[in-house]
Amino acid sequence: MRRAVLDPSALLTWFDRGDAPGPTRLEYEQGLLGVVAPRELATHVLGALTTTGEWQPDQLVRIAAELDRLGFELRDPPLDEVAGWLARGLSTSQAPYAALASSLDLPLMTADPEMLFRAAAVARSAADG
């Protein structure tokens, strides 16, 4: 099984309304992908959904339950790695994902173009799986 760190932008693609599950989610559901993420992943995802104004409270509650059910491996990234990524220009919400990926020598899957640019050493497009 391959492993990867998923950031909120990549995970949000799993909840696009009306679309069939993408290749990354299918790979996860088939047990072929292990997902590692910082502990605050669910909070970041729900916060991002809330800011769009497109999601109703009952939908957010269902997504929160789904995030719990997914059972990702949640870990704290090393603070020295977080500091290094902050120094490279990542935001405080982006740096923990790049730090976790780099510290574990795992690819970071993202749909965030800025993250792809600034963390190119560890990031790959979520669409590329």
Q: Per-residue pLDDT tens for 75-90?
A: 999 999 999 999 999 9
**Mean of the per-residue pLDDT values of the chain:** 89
Fold assignment, 2-40+71-128: Rossmann fold (3.40.50)
Alpha carbon distances (Å) from 88 to 14, 70, 98: 28, 31, 11
Show the 3-state SS of 9-24: HHHHHHHCCCCCCCHH
**Does residue 6 contact residue 37 with C-beta atoms inside 8 Å?**
yes
CA-based torsion, 40, 43, 49, 52: positive or negative: negative
Q: What pTM does this model have?
A: 0.87
Nearest-angstrom CA–CA distance, 96 and 106: 13
pLDDT tens digits along 105-115: 999 999 899 99
Q: Could you report the per-residue pLDDT of 22-74, keeping only the tens digit for each?
A: 788 889 989 999 999 999 999 999 998 888 888 889 989 988 998 889 889 99
Residue 17 has pLDDT above 60, yes or no: no
Q: Indicate the burial class of 110 (C-beta count within 10 angstroms; 0-12, 13-18, 19 or more).
A: buried
List residues bridging with 125 in a β-sheet: 110
Give residue 106's pLDDT: 96
Domain ranges of the chain: 2-40+71-128
Angle between helices 79-87 and 95-104 (to 10 degrees): 120
